[in-house]
Structure 1
Amino acid sequence: MFTTYGVCQTLISDRGSEFTNKCTAELCKLLEVTQEFTPAFAHHCLGACERQHRTLAERLTTHVLKGKSWENELHSVTFSMNSSELTCKLNTIHEIVSNNAIASGLQMEEKENLKTNNLKLSIGDYVYLQREPTGVGIKFQPIFDGPYVVINIPSSHLIKLRDPTRKRKLSDPVHINRDENSAYPSTSTLRIV
């Protein structure tokens, strides 16, 4: 037991002869382990242990009734008991991880929603679209294109735009806050004309 589970501070057991003998008492004294015993005929004092014994007896009984030696079946039965405990623990861990992932997602969504723009647009509004200037003289290039006309609002975050001069086609919807690292992080990448 000690080589498998390590040295404990206290060993609580029933009054079985394997626990009350001199050998166990000397070993506990040598390892500085306090020995405590439950009262006689009080199985509820070691409830978890007694439940394991009951489950072990139930599972071994089926093998013994089939004419098998219980000593040969002990390892497979204890393995199945440990596996079912492991499955329960893994299910609990999985549930905790799932709940944490959901909570984290909600927290991230709430944090992002604080940054979103409450821009109210209607079909027919004119807007300027922020762009990323590149090349030489970036600071002197305009950061907005447009104006564009709002022709459709598929969702609260997406709008479809059309260039009224028909020089430029915008076939994909535009997200209101498509650039988080823009020069105006607290406002939308769209400006109403």
Structure 2
Amino acid sequence: MNSKIVVATGNRGKLAEFSQLLGERFELLSQKDLKVDEAEETGLSFVENALLKARNAAAQTGLPALADDSGLCVNALNGAPGIYSARYAGNGASDTDNNAKLVEKLAGENNRRAHFHCALVFVRHATDPAPIICEGRWPGEIIDTARGGNGFGYDPHFYVAALDKTAAELSPEEKNRLSHRGQAVAAFVERFKEEMR
């Protein structure tokens, strides 16, 4: 198995997290650096979109590919922003824009429960009939006032009561151990080790 894996993301925050979690085992290359045209995310679930992205990156590079689709699901908003988390406030929206829309949508709402969800898909090649699919789920709640300077996306508004901290108040090491992406990557590493025996 090629130790080079293309990561199907242009998000530097995600790439940094993957590198911290998998960097010792694999050489991770960004699809952006390899000039991969992004896949159109036409799926209706995190798994569908991750699979589209992984197959697209593998097809364009000839390398094994790892993709995740992840986002924030808020109970009171019927799971929104969900698969639209990165563009909740519109295409090209910044983290600040997305967070502002989220807080506005939850104005007056008492049920603040939410979870981050990650679907991680690995394909050995573009037509891999048996991709490795792992998922992770990180429960918390949404707070109106941003706290913390770490992380990205909705992290400053995602409060974990057991820690009395937002995701943005955790160190990268703590977040990687607890987060939806950390859980999915840990499951992937175990699965990968089994298959490579």
- TM-score, with normalisation over the residues of structure 2? 0.24
Higher normalized contact order (CA 8 Å, seq sep 6+, divided by chain length): 2
> Which structure is larger by alpha-carbon Rg, 1 or 2?
1
Tell me which protein shows more helix as a share of its residues: 1
Tell me which protein shows more strand as a share of its residues: 2
